[in-house]
Amino acid sequence: MTDPAIPEAADRTSMDLLLRMRRLQVEANVAEMRRARTMTALFQQLESDVEARRAENPLFTPTPLAAATTETQPVTGQTPGRIRSEIETVLIVDRHLPWLAEHLDSGRLDPYRAKPVIDAFKDDLGDHPEARERFAELMRQWFARAADVSPDLLNKTITQIRNHTHYVVTKVLAGEFDDRFRRRHRSRSVHTRATGDGMGSLTIDTDLVSVKLAEHHVDALARDARSAGDERTLEQLRADLAIDLLTGRVAAAGEERPSEGDRRSAVGRLGPTRHQRDRAGADRDGHLRRARTDGRPDPPRLARAPRGRTARVDVVPVAHRWQPRRRALDHGIPTHGRHLA
């Protein structure tokens, strides 16, 4: 079936197709917002007569949101979480962010890209009325400038919107971020879960500076191992090296190293990275000179490498932990971790 709005193949250009896709995207955004408003109207109708239904059956009366989700899901095929999210979006923008509702209703923006703004308004600024007003005004101005450049469809990606939202939240709550960070840091934790097929995931929730340093260190080790001829991919090397370091699959000099059957994955080359050598200086053997708290050099560690090779591991002592952090700060990583004992 031929779409009459699309020119014939001999006459159309790439620009014709791109403009057609743009118009279709605007129409899809409008339709999606209309559907969300219809679901919200159903929720509000159920909310208005919930007391009457509860009087008839006080033990088995679902909440208005649960009832709206149950009745909407078979019709739209959406998950309960998405139904609740779209209803919440309409309620928040109509009540607190009318300028955002106008962008959504006109099709310039879709609910998916509006979600970072709504989540920040609801979660990060929930207890700060003045900060909410300032946040709403700064975001309104930013979206207005984007609409001036592209009136029919905002040319902002979800990543750009998320990053700018985080920037504005940081700006309006500048005086409270240290206290919020310390409260969050007290709840740092480690979680594991099975992902199926004998695999699992490990999540470490701690300060961002330490996380970025760990990511950088594992990535540097993986790239060195790859350069040395390891056939595993960088992703595989990062995963293997991280779990090897966390589980203590390294042996001190002179100790017996584990055999091939003692583990599921081999340790890659764990020698000092180029970044470490540049930052700390190297002796004539290419090994790092690191002073411990007692003034003696930190002893090397040996780890088993693929195909029976051995490699040197230098443990970063506490006295040198802050040097890479200052390098990380040059890239805009928050500094909260430097103030913790």
* Per-residue pLDDT reduced to its tens digit, 212-237: 999 999 999 999 999 999 999 999 99
* pLDDT higher than threshold 80 for residue 315: no
Strands 189-196 and 199-205: antiparallel
Query: Which runs of consecutive H residues, i.e. helices, occur in the chain?
Result: 14-48, 50-56, 64-76, 80-95, 98-106, 111-119, 129-149, 158-172, 177-185, 208-227, 234-246, 274-280, 322-329
Q: Note the Cα 30 to chain centre separation in Å.
A: 28
pLDDT classification of 56: cutoffs 50, 70, 90: confident
Mean pLDDT of 144-173: 91
How far apart are alpha carbons 159 and 134 in whole angstroms? 22
Q: Are 269 and 228 in contact (CB under 8 A)?
A: yes
Q: Note the Cα 88 to chain centre separation in Å.
A: 22
Note the pLDDT of residue 7.
53
Token couple for 42: 């159903």
Token couple for 84: 């609740």
Degrees to nearest 5, angle at CA 334 with 338 and 315? 50
How far apart are alpha carbons 193 and 195 in whole angstroms? 6
Q: To 10 degrees, what angle do helices 14-48 and 111-119 make?
A: 60
Higher-confidence residue of 339 and 282: namely 282
Q: Are 189 and 181 in contact (CB under 8 A)?
A: no
Q: pLDDT tens across 100-145, in order?
A: 999 999 999 999 999 999 999 988 887 778 888 999 999 999 999 9
SS3 261: helix
- Counting residues of the chain whose pLDDT is more than 90, the rounded percentage is 43
Its sign, for the CA torsion 45, 51, 56, 61, is positive
* pLDDT higher than threshold 80 for residue 34: yes
Higher-confidence residue of 279 and 135: namely 135
Q: Note the Cα 271 to chain centre separation in Å.
A: 30
DSSP label of 291: B
Note the pLDDT of residue 338.
39
How far apart are alpha carbons 239 and 249 in whole angstroms? 13
What does the mean pLDDT of the chain come to? 75
| CB-based contacts of 170, cutoff 8 Å, min separation 6 | 177
The region of weakest confidence among 30-34, 118-122, 220-224, 300-304 is 300-304
Note the pLDDT of residue 8.
57
| Most confidently modeled range among 11-25, 149-163, 286-300 | 149-163
pLDDT classification of 282: cutoffs 50, 70, 90: very low
Residue 208: Cβ-neighbour burial (10 angstroms; 0-12, 13-18, 19+): middle
Half-sphere exposure of 13 (CA within 13 A, CB side): 2
Note the pLDDT of residue 339.
36
Note the pLDDT of residue 237.
92
* pLDDT higher than threshold 50 for residue 268: no
How far apart are alpha carbons 269 and 229 in whole angstroms? 10
* pLDDT higher than threshold 50 for residue 296: no
Token couple for 195: 């992902």
Q: Are 253 and 286 in contact (CB under 8 A)?
A: no
Token couple for 39: 């679901």
The region of weakest confidence among 139-153, 159-173, 177-191 is 177-191
Higher-confidence residue of 339 and 31: namely 31
* pLDDT higher than threshold 60 for residue 38: yes
Note the pLDDT of residue 4.
54
Mean pLDDT of 60-68: 85
* pLDDT higher than threshold 50 for residue 300: no
